[in-house]
Amino acid sequence: MYTSEVESAELVRMDKPAPRDWAQMDKSGVKETFDSIADYYDHMNRVMTMGRHRHWCKEVARRAVVPLGGSLLDIATGTGEIALAARCLYPHAAITAADFSESMLAAAAARASADRISWQVADANSLPFADESFDSVTSGYLLRNVDDVYRVLAEQFRVLKPGGNLVVLETCPPTGPLSPLVTLGVRLAIPMLGQAIAHDRESYKYLRDSTLAFIPPEKVAGIARRAGFQNVRWRRKFLGTNMILWARRPA
């Protein structure tokens, strides 16, 4: 169901410090983690979300609402699930998909219809695009992996055209009466699946810890407003462990 919007526009910070084993990992360490799991990324996402991940990516693309002949930037594209969904929905749009992991981009570029997308290595903290370049900006599982959520959202605001749409797919800490049980499931299941499928327990321990320590949707919404976005809304998914957030740059 829809959640109400947060009225405060103050700078929002995490309530609790992130676990030491990933909070101090530098950008090169995060990149190395994602490079190492590129071959298993899609399969793991399908297993961990019981097949819902692809549907969420399609919803993100649909909410991007790219105009005829318009342009979309997908940041932290990974293996390109959102970008490829947008390619199907908006066949006449110019779609650019960016990631800082060359291994992820290589896996994405090998997929069907990938030749109709511009793939580019880029850092979400400092995007290599001019101001007001895109009609829509999307991202998947980006914000929990950056040091400064405000800076990254401000960069997305900068490259969006006035009236452009922002859509974010992200994990979030579970809430509600079942949250202790769901949290326990996340703590146990993600590293176990990482070991069983990718033979990489450590990388998925990082993904588990960054998921559980990330801020809730209402705080992401508050940061988005501070970055300049309006009409910020969100919807939780999958027992509250994922969310889709959408907003607009004022015209």
Amino acid identity, position 62: R
Residues in the chain, how many?
Answer: 251
pLDDT of the chain, 251 residues: tens digit per residue: 333 333 333 333 333 333 334 344 566 778 888 888 888 888 888 888 899 999 999 999 999 999 999 999 999 999 999 999 999 999 999 999 999 999 999 999 999 989 999 999 999 999 999 999 999 999 999 999 999 999 999 999 999 999 999 999 999 988 888 788 888 888 888 889 888 887 888 888 888 888 888 999 999 999 999 999 999 999 999 989 999 999 999 99
The annotation status of 35 as a binding-site residue, yes or no, is no
15 phi and psi, to 5 degrees?
Answer: -70, -35
The annotation status of 79 as a binding-site residue, yes or no, is yes
* Distance, CA of 203 to CA of 182 (rounded, Å): 21
C-alpha distances out from residue 247 to 18, 98, 166, Å: 27, 20, 5
DSSP secondary structure of 177-190:
TTHHHHHHHHHHHH
The annotation status of 171 as a binding-site residue, yes or no, is no
69 three-class SS:
coil
> Among the residues of 131-178, which ranges form H helices?
149-159
- Residue 17: per-residue pLDDT: 34
Amino acid identity, position 163: G
Residue 209 near residue 180, CB atoms below 8 Å: no
E runs forming strands in 204-251: 230-237, 242-248
Residue 234 near residue 169, CB atoms below 8 Å: no
Task: Using the structure block, give the residue that is written with the tokens 């990149």.
Answer: 31
The answer for residues whose C-beta is within 8 angstroms of residue 92's C-beta and 6 or more apart is 68, 69
The annotation status of 124 as a binding-site residue, yes or no, is yes
Amino acid identity, position 139: S
Domains of the chain plus CATH, in order, are 20-181+213-248 (3.40.50.150)
- Residue 25: per-residue pLDDT: 52
Closest alpha carbon to 82 in 136, 18, 13, 19 = 136
